[in-house]
Amino acid sequence: MRGFKAFLLRGNVVDLAIAVVIGVAFTTVVTAFVKDLVTPLIAALGGKPDFASLYFTINSSKFLYGDFINFVIAFLIIAAVVYFLVVVPYTAMVARSRKEPPPDPTTKKCTECLSEIPKDARRCAFCTSPQPA
């Protein structure tokens, strides 16, 4: 029993449980967004987007292919919403935060002729003028 308790209290298991709970809550939010806002918008633009009444029958068995089409469309809409409202902004934020500061310059401008010379040079290689320290 001690081993099982140690397994459950490890950080990875707790983090995973928290991620699953947050994922389920986020799924509910995204599903509500698609159902309540995106789908009515599509309906306003192109007619009623409900294919649930489409089916065919073989040997008294109903094949609800319209319902399957509804689920595929809902999946594609949810995937697009997650991509454009979560993945793209998150990727941009991570890219912005990972920018490294520019490296220290290894050259400087000559005070007389404005040529590029090494940062530690005491004289310009082009005009031979002395450089300040």
Which residues, at least 6 apart from 117, have a Cβ–Cβ distance to it below 8 Å? 107, 108, 109, 110, 124, 125, 126, 131
Which residues, at least 6 apart from 31, have a Cβ–Cβ distance to it below 8 Å? 78
Using an 8 Å Cβ cutoff, are 16 and 60 in contact?
A: no
Q: What is the pLDDT of residue 67?
A: 77
Angle (CA) 98 82 37, round 5°: 135
Using an 8 Å Cβ cutoff, are 105 and 93 in contact?
A: no
Confidence of residue 116 (pLDDT cuts 50, 70, 90): very high
State the DSSP H helix or E strand holding residue 29, giving kind and residue range, or none if neither. helix 11-33
* For the chain, domain boundaries: 2-97, 104-133
The mean pLDDT value of the chain amounts to: 82
pLDDT in tens, 53-83: 778 999 999 988 877 877 787 788 778 877 8
Task: Indicate the fold that domain 2-97 takes in CATH.
Answer: 1.10.1200
Q: What is the mean pLDDT of residues 99-121?
A: 87
**Whole-prediction pTM:** 0.48
Q: How many CB atoms are located within 10 Å of the residue 69 CB?
A: 15
Using an 8 Å Cβ cutoff, are 38 and 85 in contact?
A: no
User: What's the rounded Cα separation, in Å, for the pair 105 and 108?
Assistant: 7
DSSP 57: E
